[in-house]
Amino acid sequence: MLKRLRWRFILFNMLLVGVAFLVLFSAVCVVSYRTGKADVDQAIETAERRAFGAGMQTPPDRFDGNGPRGDGDVRLPTIGGKEEMSFVYTVTVVVNSEGNYFRGDAFGAEANTEILDKAVKTAMASGKVSGSIRSLNLAWKKVSAGEMTTIIFASTDHLWSGLRTTALTTGGVLLGGLVLFFGISYLLSGVVIRPTAQAWEQQKRFVADASHDLKTPVTVILANTQILQSAPEAPPEERAKWLEGIAEEGERMKGMINEMLELAQTEQVEKQVFSPVNLSDATERTLLQMEPLAFEKGVLIESEIEPAVSVPGIEKNYVRLLYILVDNAVKYCPAGEAVKVALARSGSGAVLTVQNKGEEIPAEELPHIFERFWRADKARETTGGFGLGLSIAKNLADGLRAKISVASEQGQTTFTVRL
């Protein structure tokens, strides 16, 4: 599924960029065409002014086997053929009322008789004032004066060759850009899809771990229920043993469900209203309430709290965060040792540390310690927890705009919260 999602992301990006490149390519081609068309129109307009401003002059026809020539036997380009031209050339003809024509002014080019006959017939047969003959690469314009009609022909080779060059150059550049963007999109998709892949893996692990933790109490409850059903005449003290097991596993399931609900609530992103919180007082009250729990475990709680430490936040979330960290430290602290809690100012904020002695957390597991259901195998057997507490603590810290971290070395594990 993630692979399909990645390719959909790439396809969507390529589609958007492809449409953008297509629009850009079309715009460049349109601009190139309009520029070339403007050059042709300007050449026709110049030829028209020259024809009617200076009077028509008929240059001598000098045709030989090599085509038309100009003064000094310099070969002139022939418009209306397949010869590629680097400029817009014009030829003017004058047509009388009988349909006969003679060549007038020519600007830098000539036209052979066959092409000129076809061009004149096409222009005269058209009811329009101007037009183009695509097969001959000619644009034309008719100007009538009495019985005479002047037709100005202009080569459009420059227009089409320029458009072709622009299209090929722009298309090549955009195609190369498309290939480059495909590579970028492929690499970027891996980065974009990574959080989704991690969330997907976490979700699968969450379901697997939740199923594992729920399977045991459900199995015990069902087994004890079957035993009670199969032995209705059993003594009350024996039935009480099975009922007690059902109650204990039911409480275990209830605790797990409550932690899952709390985790879901802390993951919800809501706008928080912060107010000044006296962390010193809140820390002292919380530690005082947790001393009986630590006493049952044979663990001491030692505190070093700087007075009157206050930062903006939400007191109940801070108390819950502190409770989780201290409770976690008490669980893993050996009997007879002490859990050390310290609170101190740090610039405009505060730093809270919770430290306990005990078995070190392996370095490879430290990056996963705040993930849901994370627990070492030994902890699964000894602490009876569900592996959700530190995930809740991480969400609470994020909600308080605090940074939580953990270090485990030299037989000590230290959680640090920077508020």
Q: Among 142, 160, 159, 164, which residue's Cα sits nearest to residue 151? A: 142
150: domain CATH number is 3.40.1840.10
Strand ranges across the sheet with 403-409:
300-305, 338-346, 349-357, 412-418, 403-409
pLDDT in tens, 293-308: 888 888 888 888 888 8
Q: Is the dihedral of CA 28, 30, 33, 35 positive or negative?
A: negative
Q: How confident is the model at residue 372, as a pLDDT?
A: 67
Q: How confident is the model at residue 58, as a pLDDT?
A: 41
Domain's final residue, options 111, 142, 163:
163
Residues 156 and 7 in one domain: yes
Quote the number of domains for the chain.
2
Domain's final residue, options 109, 128, 163:
163
Q: Is the dihedral of CA 61, 66, 71, 75 positive or negative?
A: positive
Please give the model's pTM, rounded to 2 decimal places.
Answer: 0.48
Q: How confident is the model at residue 352, as a pLDDT?
A: 92
Q: How confident is the model at residue 26, as a pLDDT?
A: 92
Helix or strand run (H / E) with residue 148: strand 148-155
Q: What is the dihedral angle through the alpha carbons of 417, 334, 307, 390, rounded to the nearest 10 degrees? A: 30
Residue 232 lies in a domain: no
Residues 135 and 16 in one domain: yes
Domain's final residue, options 135, 163, 191:
163
Residues 142 and 281 in one domain: no
Q: Is 361 helix (H, G, I), strand (E, B) or coil?
A: coil
Any residues with CB less than 8 A from the CB of 385 and at least 6 apart, and which? Answer: 331, 375, 379
CA 109, CA 113: separation in Å to the nearest integer?
A: 13
**Pairing of β 300-305 and β 338-346:** parallel
Residues 15 and 143 in one domain: yes
Q: How confident is the model at residue 373, as a pLDDT?
A: 64
CA 37, CA 154: separation in Å to the nearest integer?
A: 11
Range of the domain at 35: 2-163
Residue 192 lies in a domain: no
The two three-digit tokens of residue 383, written as one number: 């602490």
Residue 79 lies in a domain: yes
295: domain CATH number is 3.30.565.10
Residues 153 and 278 in one domain: no
213, with CB counted inside 10 A (0-12, 13-18, 19+), is buried
Residue 184 lies in a domain: no
DSSP classification of residue 77: P
Q: Among 283, 342, 270, 273, which residue's Cα sits nearest to residue 310? A: 283
Q: How confident is the model at residue 382, as a pLDDT?
A: 47
Residue 210 lies in a domain: no
Task: Please identify which residue in the block is written with the tokens 């050059």.
Answer: 39
Each of the 419 residues of the chain gets a pLDDT tens digit; together they read 667 777 787 888 888 888 988 999 899 999 988 988 888 888 888 888 877 765 444 433 433 333 344 444 445 566 665 555 557 888 888 888 787 888 776 666 667 778 888 888 888 888 888 998 888 888 989 888 878 888 888 888 878 888 888 899 998 998 888 888 888 888 887 777 777 776 677 666 666 666 656 766 787 788 878 877 887 777 877 778 778 778 877 876 776 677 666 666 665 555 667 888 899 998 998 888 888 888 888 888 888 888 888 888 888 888 888 888 888 888 888 888 889 999 998 888 899 999 998 888 888 888 878 876 665 544 444 455 556 778 888 888 888 888 989 888 888 899 999 98
Beta strands per DSSP E along 213-365: 275-278, 300-305, 310-313, 338-346, 349-357
First-last CA distance in the chain: 39
